[in-house]
A and B are shown apart, each in its own frame.
Chain A
Amino acid sequence: MSTARSVECRVAGPLAYLTLNRPPVNRLDQRMLSDLAQACQRIVDEPAVRVAILGASGNVFSLGLDNELLTAAQPPDFSPLASLAIPVIAAINGDALGAGLEIALCCDFRIAVDHARFALPETSIGMIPSGGGTQRLPRLVGKGKALELLLTAETIDASEAFRIGLVNAVVPLPELEASAEHLAQQIATRAPIALRYTKEVVRRGSEMTLEQGLRFEMDLNVLLQTTRDRAEGLKAFLEKRPPVFTGE
């Protein structure tokens, strides 16, 4: 157990499974951050991987930073996760607090178990979130709800998180793995380059003027016309069969 990585990475076909593994509550320490960065690098290096699922061991997703990181001069760096080009699904198996929630905010989808709770409680200890929470939460759930969560430091349950759009779906614990995997498998059947471009154009496009964003979308479409997958998609549609994409 002592040699186990605090973030495990397992690749199976087109899916990569990242697992936060620092029992009992997956508090983030420096080693975990570098393990996370390494796991993300492995995904970057494996072109066969089309979708990643980020989960956690036990029945807690993560209770946030450990004391050392909490008082460190440098904020935690989640950019290796946030900058992954492929879609990433967070499978939230329990409470996601502070930096634990901020990690989930770096993902594209969030599926949570019904007993999970969520909070960015930093203002209650005289701090502000430092892993992007003040920036990503309002972009995800809107300014009104984000400010309420940040200013009150309150904890919300899974159904409220679903209502405000913080999580995409809420499921019972026994169904979590299957739900995340079902979504991942579905996404993995789509054309890989189109998936990456879509993620890129939605993320970057929302920071541009509409005119620039439309131009960016068009340019990526033109680029996609040069891919084999695009020809395969069209051909399969005309032949009324499911397409087989290779990522070329």
Chain B
Amino acid sequence: MNAFETVLYDKLPSIALVTLNRPRALNAINIRMRDELWQVIGAVRDDPDVQVVIFRGAGDRAFSAGADITEFGTAPSPVIARQVRWQRDLWGTLASFSKPLIAAIQGYALGAGLELAMCCDIRIASDDSRLGLPETTLGMIPAAGGTQTMPRLIPPAMAAQLCITGEMVAARDALGIGLLNRVVPRDELFPTARKIAEKIIANDQRAVRTAKEAVRRGLDLPLVEGLELERRLRSRLGK
């Protein structure tokens, strides 16, 4: 099944399990991993057997520690870097993905690692996880959507604090501010993620994706227009 080097792709019944697989580098996302994720995500999107996607990290230390900084500045030119970024818009594709996405987080979820998790619909983490957007401590800003996804997910005051200070939060605090849906002991992490996936799979998949679309698009609209969107999507479902 596996033609990839940095990503493991397993198919459980109705579930695509995508494992970030560079455990010795804390599953840092390098160019290769980004390109392989892009391919996996395309396959998952088009595979009619897949109803839900679960992302996790290999090893026991990290979901992902973020972009691989050893590769920074290695693109042939900024113009090419930008072009590739748009041609393989992994983050944009995930943010508008129609199938439900679940992140099962253990250990560190930092920078682009956390941003990947924030593109997901549901985030479960082990109780020893630590999450953060440390970009400003490295003279950068989050670049995989974090400055936009985080304040839409958690109270804007907390989002500003995390984006500006670059500080990490422990799982329990992340649960308190709504950055995580659930916190569980490590050995229950994957079973919990799978149980949630099974619950989703038990529902009608057209309805599930339509509900996701209503929330995702509706939050960018004034309430009145969001309610109108909900009505249109409901009639599209034929009910």
Contact = CB atoms under 8 A, between A and B. Distances in A.
Whether both chains belong to one complex is answered with yes
Interface of A: 70-71, 73, 75, 122-130, 132-136, 138-139, 141-148, 150-154, 164, 203, 207
B179 A127 contact: no
Given A130-B231, A135-B226, A146 B215 contact: yes
A128 B210 contact: yes
Given A136-B223, A142-B178, A144-B153, A151 B234 contact: no
A150 B181 CA distance: 13
28 contacts: A75-B234, A122-B211, A123-B203, A123-B207, A123-B211, A124-B202, A127-B204, A127-B234, A128-B210, A128-B233, A128-B237, A130-B234, A132-B230, A134-B211, A134-B214, A134-B226, A134-B233, A138-B219, A142-B153, A143-B153, A143-B215, A145-B181, A148-B121, A150-B215, A151-B121, A151-B208, A153-B199, A207-B223
A139 B227 CA distance: 12
Given A145-B181, A148-B181, A128 B214 contact: yes
Contacts, number: 118
A129 to B, nearest CB: 7
Interface residues of B, number: 40
Closest 3 CB pairs of A and B: A126-B204, A134-B214, A135-B226
Contact of B237 (A70, A127, A139): A127
A136 B218 CA distance: 9
Contacts of A143: 152-153, 215-216, 219
A139 to B, nearest CB: 7
Given A142-B153, A147-B215, A151-B212, A127 B181 contact: no
B154 interface: yes
Interface in B136-182: 152-154, 178-181
Contacts of B211: 122-123, 128-129, 134, 147, 150-151
B230 A130 contact: yes
A127 B218 contact: no
B62 to A, nearest CB: 21
A145 B181 CA distance: 6
Nearest to B100: A151
B179 A144 contact: yes
A151 B219 contact: no
B122 interface: yes
Contacts of B152: 143
Given A127-B237, A135-B230, 18 more contacts: A70-B239, A73-B235, A122-B211, A126-B239, A128-B211, A129-B230, A130-B234, A139-B219, A142-B154, A143-B215, A144-B181, A145-B178, A148-B121, A150-B211, A150-B212, A151-B122, A152-B200, A207-B222
Nearest to B155: A142
Contacts of B210: 128
Contacts of A147: 100, 121-122, 211-212, 215
Interface of B: 100, 121-123, 152-154, 178-181, 196, 199-200, 202-204, 206-208, 210-212, 214-216, 218-219, 222-223, 226-227, 229-231, 233-235, 237, 239
Contacts of A70: 239
A135 B223 contact: yes
Contacts of A152: 196, 199-200, 203
B207 A127 contact: yes
Contacts of B216: 143
A138 B211 CA distance: 11
A166 to B, nearest CB: 12
A164 B154 CA distance: 11
A136 B226 CA distance: 9
A133 to B, nearest CB: 8
A134 B215 CA distance: 5
Contact of B204 (A125, A141, A154, A207): A125
Given A127-B234, A134-B230, A148 B207 contact: no
Contacts of B202: 124
A126 B231 contact: no
Contacts of A203: 223
B180 to A, nearest CB: 8
A145 B180 CA distance: 9
Contacts of A127: 204, 207, 234, 237, 239
Contact of B230 (A128, A144, A153, A164): A128
